[in-house]
Amino acid sequence: MALGLGLLALAAQAGAGAPGFTDPAPPEVAPGAPPPPVAAAANPDVVSRAAPRPLAPGSRVADWPHFLGPAHNQTSPETDLCATFPAGGPDLVWAMPKGEGFAGPVIAGERLVLFHRVGGEEVVECLHALDGRRFWRVAYPTTYRDRYGYNSGPRASPAIAGGRVFTFGAEGHLHCIDLASGRIEWRRDLHTEFRVPRNFFGVGASPLVTGDVVIVQLGAPGGPGVAAFDVTTGRLRWGAEREWGPSYATPVPATWGGRPRVLVFAGGESRPPTGGLLVLDPATGAIDARFPWRGTRYESVNAAAPLALAEGVFVSECYGSGGALVTAAPDGSAVAAWTNPAFGVHFMTAVRLGDLLCGVHGHGPQDAEFVAVEAATGREVWRDQPIWTETVAEARGPREIRTGLFRASLLVADGGVLALGEFGHLARLGISRAGLVVRERAWLFAATETWTPPVLSRGLLYVCQNTRDAVAGTPPRLLCYDLRAD
């Protein structure tokens, strides 16, 4: 472990990123004002189980309008959640079959937006968050096929802002949709327009809306690697970065050197592999700082979103470089406060818990370990891999299997930590300097590729089952669970 690097700058550079890019195909904008809001209608695809418990008086609730939640860090301000799960696990409120994809739902008020692939179409659906009734549905054709054999649906979660929904499909289709009515305000085929080659897994980084622009990792050859489009007109406002390609890490807003900035953890398919942290001015696209950070394998990817902390910005990947805390030097450049090659987070964003950073280190299920390090120093405090035995009913009789959380997504809320394991387990964790304790767990479904982070809004937990349940046989579904206190 290499710690305490202090003011060692890892090839950090500053430079202008905005000039020199033109818009190849400004889109047409839907004329006139959007139509009136659409009322929710019965959704024949939804199976309802039970109404959720009422919200506790005085409970704090929040929207989940974009990937990683209201604060861009998989942390929710909600309170008055249930102290323990009911016997058998949280109560299921409603469920709906979903198509292919790893995109998570987003929520603003009563409206939930789901982005998935059904057959040969990418589909954007606006549902009532409480019961799954449908407000509207938008679909358009897609021909994307995953080269590694994973599913071929969208990976990037939508973003809701200013009464609009923004989606970025697996093959580069960017849409702006009116949230109330479902009218497409504008659309762009960015990969065709900017001649973007296909990345390892297509588009994976979710869009970020800040101010009056929507920012995406584009990855056009020779630039722009990052682009901002006007939320109203869809026109290119600025482009940035000519060398590093698009990663699977979603951009996040932060403060850098006392100024509002956007953090982009770039790095896509390239020989040799290149990429790292970019610190951008959201108004102009000017690059304040660059911090190279990438594994050396060609197949390596940067996939975990940057995590903005009081101490700096945490970036991590699991192909060799591991984790680093990046800070702003007096001249505004990016320097490493510490590095830790043994804290390599793949795509499951780490979370802050007191003076600790906690996340899952490792590339695959068997080497996935929960690790806690000191946020200030990067020093490892502990690592653990919770494993237990489950009994599965089969035609030949019950069978015991060893399983665990493995590459789990964490969610911090109401003074606790929830973990959604990659094989369908939901666990409540106790995490401290003393170690990790699985306080309770429930097996929601026996399905692989449960890689979509859970979403919490108004005391309801939304979980994506992305493959068929190997035991119960249920197809991929969007599930809504009641976590409200009794």
| pLDDT tens digits, one per residue of 68-120 | 999 999 999 999 999 999 999 999 999 999 999 999 999 999 999 999 999 99
Boundaries of every domain in the chain: 62-482
Sheet order of strands, 276-280 included: 252-256, 259-266, 276-280, 287-292
Question: What is the CATH T-level fold of the domain 62-482, as seen in this structure?
Answer: Methanol Dehydrogenase; Chain A (2.140.10)
Q: Is the pLDDT of residue 10 over 70?
A: no
The per-residue pLDDT of the chain, averaged, comes to: 94
* Torsion from C-alpha of 406, 447, 103, 62, nearest 10 degrees: -80
What pLDDT is attached to residue 20?
79
What mean pLDDT do residues 120-147 have?
97
Q: Is the pLDDT of residue 26 over 70?
A: yes
Q: How far is CA 291 from CA 219, 363, 379, in A?
A: 18, 22, 21
Q: Is the pLDDT of residue 182 over 90?
A: yes
Report the distance separating Cα 22 and Cα 238, nearest Å. 8
Contact call for residues 462 and 455 (beta carbons, < 8 A): yes
pTM check: above 0.85: yes
What pLDDT is attached to residue 243?
94
Cβ-based burial of 33 (10 A; exposed 0-12, middle 13-18, buried ≥19): exposed
What mean pLDDT do residues 25-36 have?
96
What pLDDT is attached to residue 149?
86
What pLDDT is attached to residue 5?
34
What pLDDT is attached to residue 140?
98
pLDDT in tens, 241-275: 999 999 999 999 999 999 999 999 999 899 999 99
Using pLDDT thresholds of 50, 70 and 90, give the confidence band for residue 19: low
What pLDDT is attached to residue 443?
97
Q: Is the pLDDT of residue 196 over 70?
A: yes
Report the distance separating Cα 482 and Cα 477, nearest Å. 16
Q: What percent of the chain has pLDDT over 70?
A: 96
How many separate helices (H) and strands (E) can be counted in the chain? 1, 36
